[in-house]
Amino acid sequence: MSIFLDRDTRVLIQGMTGNEGSFWAQHMIELGTQVIAGVTPGKEGELIHDRPIYHSVRRAVRNHDVDAAILFVPPRFTRDAVLEAIDSGIRKIVTIADGIPLHEMVEIRASAKAAGAMVVGGNTSGVISPGEAMMGMFPYWIERVYAPGKIGIMTRSGSLTNEVTAMVVRAGFGVSTLVGVGGDPVPGTRFAEMLPLYEADKKTEALVIIGELGGSMEEEVAVAMQSGICTKPVVAFLGGRTAPKGKRMGHAGAIVSGGKGTVEGKIKALEAAGGRVAGRPSEVGELLRALLEEREA
């Protein structure tokens, strides 16, 4: 079992005829994803990787059962593409683009919540359930890093994800589903909003959070743990702990405001809720093992 997607999820790719869309569509298919069709305005009638292209999402869903959509479209077109997918009845959407205008991302998030949809991204590598399916931009050597297993992973950081996941696998664990929520200030879905899905997934035994300086998503996880929304063991690794105090960081989501968002504050909140925070990626596997052994004792 996995969350968000599995080998039975029927995926539509918006922007499939572009260079990135075509390239990653091929990789998704090779990893077992059920890519059923693509959408590019003006390209209807073409075939990409033997999948039909349609002029619009609405025309695609008339001809195919669609469970999820992934967008390989420029940031200035992302809002319209997401709303088109939502209006066509698609309730699971991954948008890759980095640099979506902030006010448009706010609108995307509000529209998704009103429709009961879940948008992952932007500024994300996507979602992967190893051994089953992938929606996103995970590298071709991924099979050496991402093994199937029982650890759910949520991440804000593209650069840290492969390193931390490799340490999880090296410690003898595997991954149920990894979700890259994205590193922008307003993600489509926040960590705490993913927690009920992991909590309900019988295959997921524990969670790893890859967070970083800025924002409040990690503190929201701590609140969810204390309120019983998340009862599974949680281990976190937080980037930015060595950042100079008072310095502005370049990452769009790495904003500390009102005294909140510091790595120290996140560590304190997570540990107070019963989680463990690794000082180095190599410690993540050890902390997972210790927490799981405590649960079994």
Q: Which bin fits 13, alpha (ψ -120 to 50), beta or left (φ > 0)?
A: beta
Judge residue 120's burial from the number of C-beta atoms within 10 Å of its C-beta, 0-12 exposed, 13-18 middle, 19 or more buried: buried
CA dist., res. 12 & res. 64, Å (int): 9
Altogether, the residues listed in the chain come to a count of 297
Catalytic residue check, 103: no
Residues 6+ apart with CB under 8 A from 31: 128, 133, 134, 142
Q: Which of 27, 55, 103, 251 is catalytic?
A: 251
Token digits for 84? 């088109």
- Cα 195 from chain centre: 12
Closest among 171, 174, 172 to 142, alpha carbons compared:
174
Residue 93 backbone phi and psi in degrees, to 5: -135, 135
Which residues are tagged catalytic? 251
